Chains A and B, each alone.
Chain A
């Protein structure tokens, strides 16, 4: 644990990408198996351990310190793991020696659930503050130390002199502690075995297109498709009933969508958008899809009320044949043929006909339907390349809607924003009252954050812990992708993807929008 704690502690302060790569390479070179493999897993989010719930960790610390002092400290520090690590009382003399990361993983897997808190407490007693912090980060998942899974794999590739694409390709066929991959990187072993058919293949991703870029692009060389507002998924079908559904991260989300997975009894790998059925051929709003996400158990009622399906964009494999090197036009022919014979949990995303960019602009503007996020532009001759290659695919999001809202509450941010009031609840007028319609956390620059922060401090009317109520005086122009009906919000409206697009220092609060105006934007 010591080596991994030191790594995290260095990584969190290391500003440069190259510095991070060097630290990671050092760790791989100097840490033995299986510890380094588990460390890599913790960094890439693939460490399969029973995660400690924040509530459980809170109980552990509350049993050891004054709860009021914990509350003051947590409010100040803003990060649970760090607060506990710093406050944990120094241990008495008889403590166990600091465990290795591999030992921690093994012990967690072997310990019955009820006994885990005591095991964790024993470890915390034996570690110093830095190692306690690192252990708590690992236990709670989400390290948030400025290292993406991609960067960790890049470091592995550079250190082992391997191709990152090779690592991505075989990654999901392997599990921590990745000893075969490390052996391969150290030239002690062969390239790890080919994967089973239903493993994850890296997605092909797009860049956002800017208005000025169209002039250089020939419309005839591109095809346009709708970009649906759901979750991009990869369906690895299986005739034997072992189909799997992967999210863009490579996470296996099969268990959440048994209706879709159960229907994927075919020998093909598809790329599409996971959606919930609405009226006619239109999908329901993202809010309905959200009802299906992050559920531990999927009830029958849920399956009936929010039936999921995949709108298919592309085909990667069929009957064992890898189609990814083919141009889009060829893959599309194969896809259309394939889609003629699939169950209703799958349908084909249509192609949008257009001749000129102007024509496409008009089409895009007139299509503010539910479940649409904009358009995709794909080169007709482009192969399906994992990653985010520059040039073949563009996303062209539709213009956001905006509303002038009044700042009502501000909350202290967490993490590196913990000393700033950075999370804003805003509202619009309903008669003489403000009704909250949403929250925004970003869309402003660092300099603007500082300005809003001091405005909040100078206009506070009430304080509730980390939240301040402010006088109605600051107007925020809030951009959002769609407005939806919502019974969970007092205003009856929920905004999709709200962000601050402009701070209207100039505008009197009384001139902000009212609820009626916003209600007209509901789709």
Chain B
């Protein structure tokens, strides 16, 4: 039986990636009848869908953000579910807690929608699983050869070193509230830092959820219930947007650090007024994107969001047909903050 080409049954619509024979949309940017969600980041998981299929962790995160959602169905990793005429399997993506790639099987064709993913070890979630397929639909957030993420223990080591150097200053670490913050906390714990860690209020709910799912983050406290004097020489985690916010003024001479893959580019770090950039990313870097395609060995690659042109070009030279889907609505999570916060000093 000849197989049905993916382009016949997966369509790019203004809602997102629509899987026609399954009657569902993956990571819809607008409310739909049936949504399949890869992971809980705000640009992939949105509220208002009639029914949602996702991992238990992702559903928990969505509840935390959008309130109770009726019509949810839980997917376990590696257990196929039939939706319409399509066989759907969630496979770990290694991006954040509950994140999944979605394997779609229909008409003899296998398609993997990667969502966001990384290849490095992350103590807060199971690692990415290579899943051979005909079409690999990948992200391209860090798809430029300038992005080469360093060792994460090394970066956290620089934070601890700075803490030793400036024991009189509060170290304020900007980190995305879902995933990055918990990973930074676990890396600190792995390097033997067992002092209390202080949280901006916006991070508490998600940290507690991680703890409920069995990720032991250690002693966590709220900044709002701590005297400023007790924050001297401590590590405080906050969402990136709070770094330049009034909120940070309560700290005494804070060292502002930021954990993000974008910190690899000096001018970007400077633009944020970051004093201690920590290059820690939950996305694959350039070499890992290429390595992943080599391992997955797809017949073709579709690219969802990020620096599509560069990745498509590089895959072309590797002999892998690739095309950009030009999906709209998927922001690079930290990039969003970058353009939304303090612009560079340009006043004449």
A residues bordering B, Cβ < 8 Å? 12-15, 65-66, 68-69, 72-73, 76-79, 82-83, 86-87, 129, 133, 415-420, 422, 442-447, 449-450, 499
Residues in B neighbouring A445, C-beta threshold 8 A: 346-347
Q: Evaluate whether A446 and B146 lie within 8 angstroms (CB atoms) in the complex, with A12-B270, A82-B266 already known.
A: no
Q: Evaluate whether A418 and B267 lie within 8 angstroms (CB atoms) in the complex, with A13-B275, A69-B310, A86-B148 already known.
A: yes
Residues in B neighbouring A12, C-beta threshold 8 A: 266, 270
Interface residue B7 (Cβ < 8 Å from any Cβ of A): no
Closest to A442 in B: B348
CB proximity of B296 to chain A, nearest CB, Å? 21
The answer to whether A417 touches B344 (Cβ under 8 A) is yes
The answer to whether A87 touches B345 (Cβ under 8 A) is no
The answer to whether B267 touches A72 (Cβ under 8 A) is no
Interface residue B145 (Cβ < 8 Å from any Cβ of A): yes
Closest to B271 in A: A416
Point out which of A76, A415, A416 has the most chain B C-beta atoms below 10 A from its C-beta. A416
Q: How far is the CA of A339 from the CA of B144 in the complex (A)?
A: 63
- 5 A-B pairs (CB sep. < 8 Å): A73-B310, A76-B146, A129-B148, A442-B346, A446-B342
Residues in A neighbouring B87, C-beta threshold 8 A: none
Residues in A neighbouring B314, C-beta threshold 8 A: 66, 69
Residues in A neighbouring B267, C-beta threshold 8 A: 77-79, 82, 415-416, 418
A73: which of B146, B339, B345, B348 is its contact (CB, 8 Å)?
B146
The answer to whether B146 touches A450 (Cβ under 8 A) is no
B residues bordering A, Cβ < 8 Å? 144-148, 264-271, 273-277, 307, 309-310, 313-314, 317, 338-339, 342-348
3 closest A-B pairs by beta carbon, nearest first, are: A86-B146, A442-B348, A416-B344
Closest to A86 in B: B146
Point out which of B264, B270, B343, B347 has the most chain A C-beta atoms below 10 A from its C-beta. B343
Identify 17 new A-B residue pairs, CB closer than 8 A, beyond the known A66-B317, A82-B146: A12-B270, A13-B275, A13-B276, A66-B314, A69-B144, A69-B310, A76-B307, A82-B266, A86-B147, A86-B264, A87-B145, A133-B266, A416-B267, A416-B345, A419-B271, A420-B343, A449-B344
Closest to B313 in A: A68
CB proximity of A440 to chain B, nearest CB, Å? 10
The answer to whether A416 touches B270 (Cβ under 8 A) is yes
Closest to B287 in A: A90
Q: How far is the CA of A450 from the CA of B339 in the complex (A)?
A: 9
Closest to B340 in A: A450
Q: How far is the CA of A449 from the CA of B342 in the complex (A)?
A: 11
The answer to whether B343 touches A72 (Cβ under 8 A) is no
User: Total number of A-B contacts with CB less than 8 angstroms?
Assistant: 93
The answer to whether A419 touches B146 (Cβ under 8 A) is no
The answer to whether B145 touches A65 (Cβ under 8 A) is yes
The answer to whether A417 touches B307 (Cβ under 8 A) is no
The answer to whether B309 touches A13 (Cβ under 8 A) is no
Residues in A neighbouring B345, C-beta threshold 8 A: 416, 446
Residues in A neighbouring B274, C-beta threshold 8 A: 13
Q: How far is the CA of A13 from the CA of B263 in the complex (A)?
A: 11
Q: How far is the CA of A69 from the CA of B318 in the complex (A)?
A: 13
Q: How far is the CA of A446 from the CA of B346 in the complex (A)?
A: 5
CB proximity of B7 to chain A, nearest CB, Å? 26
Closest to B338 in A: A419
Q: How far is the CA of A102 from the CA of B264 in the complex (A)?
A: 28
The answer to whether B270 touches A13 (Cβ under 8 A) is yes
Closest to B253 in A: A16
Residues in B neighbouring A447, C-beta threshold 8 A: 343
Closest to A415 in B: B267
CB proximity of B163 to chain A, nearest CB, Å? 16
CB proximity of B292 to chain A, nearest CB, Å? 17
Q: How far is the CA of A431 from the CA of B339 in the complex (A)?
A: 39
Q: How far is the CA of A68 from the CA of B143 in the complex (A)?
A: 13
Q: How far is the CA of A87 from the CA of B267 in the complex (A)?
A: 16
Q: Evaluate whether A82 and B270 lie within 8 angstroms (CB atoms) in the complex, with A87-B145, A420-B344 already known.
A: no
Q: How far is the CA of A474 from the CA of B206 in the complex (A)?
A: 44
CB proximity of B146 to chain A, nearest CB, Å? 4
Residues in A neighbouring B147, C-beta threshold 8 A: 86
Q: Evaluate whether A443 and B348 lie within 8 angstroms (CB atoms) in the complex, with A13-B275, A415-B267 already known.
A: yes
The answer to whether A446 touches B343 (Cβ under 8 A) is yes
CB proximity of B277 to chain A, nearest CB, Å? 7
The answer to whether A444 touches B144 (Cβ under 8 A) is no
Q: Evaluate whether A444 and B348 lie within 8 angstroms (CB atoms) in the complex, with A69-B310, A419-B338 already known.
A: yes
CB proximity of B266 to chain A, nearest CB, Å? 6
B339: which of A15, A415, A419, A422 is its contact (CB, 8 Å)?
A419
A422: which of B271, B276, B346 is its contact (CB, 8 Å)?
B346
CB proximity of B299 to chain A, nearest CB, Å? 23
Q: How far is the CA of A223 from the CA of B300 in the complex (A)?
A: 78
Q: Evaluate whether A83 and B146 lie within 8 angstroms (CB atoms) in the complex, with A13-B269, A15-B275, A416-B270 already known.
A: yes
Closest to B347 in A: A445
Point out which of A14, A69, A83, A87 has the most chain B C-beta atoms below 10 A from its C-beta. A69
Residues in A neighbouring B146, C-beta threshold 8 A: 73, 76-77, 82-83, 86-87
Q: Evaluate whether A499 and B346 lie within 8 angstroms (CB atoms) in the complex, with A76-B144, A82-B266, A419-B338 already known.
A: no
Residues in A neighbouring B347, C-beta threshold 8 A: 444-446
A69: which of B145, B270, B343 is its contact (CB, 8 Å)?
B145
CB proximity of A61 to chain B, nearest CB, Å? 10
Closest to A14 in B: B275
Closest to A146 in B: B270
Q: Evaluate whether A449 and B144 lie within 8 angstroms (CB atoms) in the complex, with A12-B266, A72-B309 already known.
A: no
Q: Evaluate whether A417 and B346 lie within 8 angstroms (CB atoms) in the complex, with A14-B275, A76-B307 already known.
A: yes
The answer to whether B276 touches A449 (Cβ under 8 A) is no
The answer to whether B277 touches A72 (Cβ under 8 A) is no
Closest to A74 in B: B146
Residues in B neighbouring A446, C-beta threshold 8 A: 342-347
The answer to whether B270 touches A73 (Cβ under 8 A) is no
Q: How far is the CA of A450 from the CA of B341 in the complex (A)?
A: 10
Closest to B143 in A: A72
Residues in A neighbouring B346, C-beta threshold 8 A: 417, 420, 422, 442, 444-446, 449
Q: How far is the CA of A86 from the CA of B264 in the complex (A)?
A: 9
CB proximity of A290 to chain B, nearest CB, Å? 22
Q: How far is the CA of A77 from the CA of B268 in the complex (A)?
A: 9
CB proximity of A195 to chain B, nearest CB, Å? 37
Q: How far is the CA of A413 from the CA of B226 in the complex (A)?
A: 42
The answer to whether A73 touches B344 (Cβ under 8 A) is no
Closest to B268 in A: A419
Closest to A69 in B: B145
Q: How far is the CA of A416 from the CA of B271 in the complex (A)?
A: 6
Q: How far is the CA of A447 from the CA of B342 in the complex (A)?
A: 9
The answer to whether A499 touches B348 (Cβ under 8 A) is yes
The answer to whether A72 touches B338 (Cβ under 8 A) is no
CB proximity of B98 to chain A, nearest CB, Å? 31
Closest to B344 in A: A416
Residues in A neighbouring B344, C-beta threshold 8 A: 416-417, 420, 446, 449
CB proximity of A141 to chain B, nearest CB, Å? 18
Q: How far is the CA of A447 from the CA of B346 in the complex (A)?
A: 9
Residues in A neighbouring B148, C-beta threshold 8 A: 86, 129
Residues in A neighbouring B348, C-beta threshold 8 A: 442-444, 499
